[in-house]
Amino acid sequence: MNLLNTVTVDEAKNKIKDVFSDVKLKEEKVHLLEAVNRYLSQDIVAPIHVPGFHRSTVDGYAVIARDTFGSSENIPSFLRYRGKIEMGMEATEFIGSGECYYVPTGGMLPMGCDAVVMVEYTEVLGREICIQKPVSPWENILKKGEDLRQKDLLFKKGHRLRPQDIGMLAGLGIIDIPVYEKLSVSIISTGDELVPPTKKLNLGQIHDMNTYSLSAAAEADGCCIIERVIIEDEKEGLQSKIEECIAHSHIILISGGSSAGDKDYTKEVMDRIGMPGAFIHGISVKPGKPTIVGKVKGRAIFGLPGQPVSALIVYKILVSSWIKETLYGAEVIHPSIEGTISVNIPSAPGREHYVMVSIKEEAGQTIIDPIYGKSGMLSMMAKAQGYIKIHTNTEGILKGDSVRAFLL
List the interface residues with a second copy, window 104-123 (CB under 8 A).
104-108, 119-120
Of the ranges 7-15, 152-160, 274-282, 390-398, which one interacts with a second copy (CB under 8 A)?
A: 152-160
Q: Which of residues 185-214 bind a second copy (CB under 8 A)?
A: 191-194, 197-214
Q: What angle do CA 334, 396, 11 make, to 5 degrees?
A: 55
Give the C-alpha separation, 29 to 56, whole Å: 35
Minimum distance from residue 290 beta carbon to a second copy (Å): 10
**Can residue 45 be called a binding residue for a second copy (CB under 8 A)?**
no
Question: What is the closest distance, in whole angstroms, from the C-beta atom of residue 191 to a second copy in the complex?
Answer: 6
41 or 211, CB closer to a second copy? Answer: 211
388 binds a second copy (CB under 8 A): no
Lay out the site mask for a second copy across 348-387 (x = CB under 8 A, - = otherwise).
-----------x-------------xxxxxxx-xx-xx--
Total residues binding a second copy (CB under 8 A): 100
Shortest reach from residue 180's CB to a second copy, in Å: 19
With 0-12 CB in 10 A as exposed, 13-18 as middle and 19+ as buried, what is 42?
middle
- Select 91 or 129, whichever has its Cβ closest to a second copy: 91
If one asks whether residue 147 binds a second copy (CB under 8 A), the answer comes out as yes
Site pattern 294..313 for a second copy (x: CB under 8 A):
------------x-x---x-
Residue 322 near residue 46 (C-beta atoms within 8 A): no
Helix (H, G, I), strand (E, B), or coil: what is residue 270?
helix
> Does residue 408 belong to the site contacting a second copy (CB under 8 A)?
yes
Q: Which of residues 252-291 bind a second copy (CB under 8 A)?
A: 259, 261, 263
Nearer to a second copy, 84 or 297 (CB): 84
- 108 vs 301, which CB is nearer to a second copy? 108
The residues, any chain, with a CB within 8 Å of residue 16's CB and separated by 6 or more, are 280, 293, 300, 318, 322, 326
Determine, following the binding rule CB under 8 A, whether residue 220 of this chain makes contact with a second copy.
yes
Name the region of 385 (left: φ>0; alpha: ψ -120 to 50; beta: rest).
Answer: alpha
Check binding of 172 to a second copy (CB under 8 A): yes
Helix axes 235-246, 266-273, angle to 10 degrees: 50
Strands (E), 137-190: 141-142, 153-155, 176-180, 183-190
Q: Which of 51, 57, 42 is nearest to 154 (CA)?
A: 42
Asked if 370 and 355 touch (Cβ cutoff 8 Å), the reply is: yes
Q: Which is nearer to a second copy, 75 or 203 (CB)?
A: 203
Among 23, 142, 229, 367, binds a second copy (CB under 8 A): 142
Which listed range, 53-61, 66-74, 265-273, 322-330, lies at the site for a second copy (CB under 8 A)? 53-61
Q: Closest distance between a second copy and the C-beta of residue 321, in Å? A: 15
CB 183 within 8 A of CB 251: yes
Q: Which is nearer to a second copy, 246 or 313 (CB)?
A: 313
CA angle 68, 69, 72 (to 5 degrees): 80
- Give the C-alpha separation, 95 to 116, whole Å: 12
Who contacts 118 (Cβ-Cβ below 8 Å, separation ≥6)? 58, 59, 60, 133, 140
Between CA 358 and CA 370 the distance in angstroms is 6
Nearer to a second copy, 19 or 359 (CB): 359
